[in-house]
Structure 1
Amino acid sequence: MTVRERLRLTPERAALLVRVLQLVMIAILVAGVWYGRPGVVVNGGIALLVTQLPALFERRYAFTMNEMLVLWITLSMFLHAFGTLPLPGLDFLTPYKAVWWWDHVTHTFSSSLVAAVGYATARALDVHTDAVTFPPTFMFAYLLLFMMAFGVVWELLEFYVGVVSQLLGIPGILTQYGLEDTILDLAYDTVGALLVATIGTAYLTDVSDQLAERLSSRTP
């Protein structure tokens, strides 16, 4: 039984849920503008734009993603955007600051998306050419190493963006909470990669096949 069947998510329900989450992200963006919260505006705006990519790829490149993958992307972006919003029920702290597990969940979701991109690209190359072969054991190790490398780069980016935003007087864009938080972030990045390596690949086969077809069409 697939995850979609367990959750009883039909394609129509998944598409509806995507639209609802996007509408909430628009509300988050408007709230950020209304209350003068640049961090909320930047994070909410970027998250909303990312959720438009599947539709853009389908319109411009006829590149389709199944509804569960689109929901996966949208939910990841929603959790990040919502996490930057100060809430009355949390004494006007953000979920990132007031809820101890929020950052761990968002890192797991976000890292799983990055790992999914890495998996889809590697498998597309495997399908496209006989010059390379990626057995399952290699793919598993590759995903973990790929995600760990990306996680280190992201933590560095997060640190420098935080420094620059503080210097410019625009707090709340990206924030680091010390070395212990960085280590935990990398640990949950690994959890996201493990999820893709173990159960997520079933939802990425079609994406990989489409990438392989486009590689083949560009090969003289």
Structure 2
Amino acid sequence: MNNVAIALLTALLGAIAFVLALAVRRRNVAAAVNAVVSLGIAGVAVAAAAGFEFGQRGFVAPELAFWTAVAGLIHSIGMLGPYDSIWWWDHLTHTLSAALLTALVYAGLLVTVGSSVSITVVAVAAVSYTVVAGVCWEFGELVARAVGEHYDVDPVLVYYGWQDTAYDLVFDVVGAALVVALDVRVFVDLAATAPGTTRQLLVWSSATIVAGSVLMALALFARPDGQS
């Protein structure tokens, strides 16, 4: 990466760190936890793009580092208040995050099975993966609420009700559909550096998402108070 790209990525990480400092100052545990996670994920992506070499390419595509850092920053800022006060903030976050996930999955599928099935099948599979991942995230919000209620603490993920869940999934689909409709292949070269690893990541992540969703659903609907 050139110096300008490194400077921009450093600024994004600094912005997330600033959000973390604000969350700590406000004693907002949920916002602080989310900022730490966002900073960690974005930091790894940036470090991998800037500091490690894989042949003649960066170990992680710079585009992935930028996209991850921007998504993490928007989510972290949202936890400080915009999720509650700005009606479109949550929609933007879900669209951007879903688009990132879909772009990665779409690239992986194009590399691993793209030669054996039609592009339409690949597109549908990529969108379906993102939708299932979105359902898993929504279950995670419900679990976070249940844990918070049980221990009388603020949940690290905020659940706003079934209507908000429906909107979240709609904008997950919007982000995913944009990627496949525009045929975004920005991560194909990255996936192609190690097709075997890409295939394993797709298989194991799919299994983890499905299993996690089922387990969380069973745990939630089996609660003694009967609430979900």
Distance 1:166 1:113, change over 3 A: farther
> Helix, strand or coil: the match of 2:154?
coil
Shift of 1:202: 2.5
Shift of 1:42: 0.3
Tell me how far apart the structure 2 counterparts of residues 113 and 11 of structure 1 sit (CA, whole Å). Answer: 23
Equivalent position to 1:73, from 68, 77, 80: 68
2:136 match = 153
Counterpart code for 1:138: V
- Is 1:124 equivalent to 2:107 in the alignment? no
Counterpart code for 1:72: W
1:203 match = 186
Residue correspondence of structure 1 range 171-186 to structure 2 within 5 A: 171-186=154-169
Question: Retained in 1: the 8 A contact 2:191–2:198?
Answer: no
> Helix, strand or coil: the match of 1:72?
helix
Question: Retained in 2: the 8 A contact 1:15–1:67?
Answer: no
> Helix, strand or coil: the match of 2:140?
helix
1:6 match = none
1:23 match = 14
What RMSD over aligned residues (CA atoms) do the two structures have, in Å?
Answer: 2.5
Equivalent position to 2:92, from 93, 105, 110: 105
Counterpart code for 2:82: P
Tell me how far apart the structure 2 counterparts of residues 70 and 195 of structure 1 sit (CA, whole Å). Answer: 20
- Is 1:137 equivalent to 2:120 in the alignment? yes
Shift of 1:212: 1.7
Tell me how far apart the structure 2 counterparts of residues 113 and 123 of structure 1 sit (CA, whole Å). Answer: 15
- Is 1:190 equivalent to 2:173 in the alignment? yes
Counterpart code for 2:137: W
Shift of 1:83: 0.7
Tell me how far apart the structure 2 counterparts of residues 32 and 47 of structure 1 sit (CA, whole Å). Answer: 13
Counterpart code for 1:50: I
What is the total number of aligned residue pairs between the two structures?
Answer: 195
Shift of 1:213: 6.9
- Is 1:37 equivalent to 2:24 in the alignment? no
Shift of 1:65: 3.2
> Helix, strand or coil: the match of 2:84?
helix
Percent of paired sites with the same residue? 25
Unaligned runs of 5+ in 1: 1-9, 86-93
Deviations 1:23-81 (A, max 9, x none): 01111112222221111110000000110222454556735333333211110110000
Counterpart code for 2:188: T
Distance 1:79 1:151, change over 3 A: same
Distance 1:203 1:164, change over 3 A: same
Equivalent position to 2:38, from 31, 47, 65: 47
Deviations 1:173-201 (A, max 9, x none): 21121111111100000011112213362
Shift of 1:82: 0.8
Question: Retained in 1: the 8 A contact 2:38–2:72?
Answer: yes
Counterpart code for 2:194: L
- Is 1:84 equivalent to 2:75 in the alignment? no
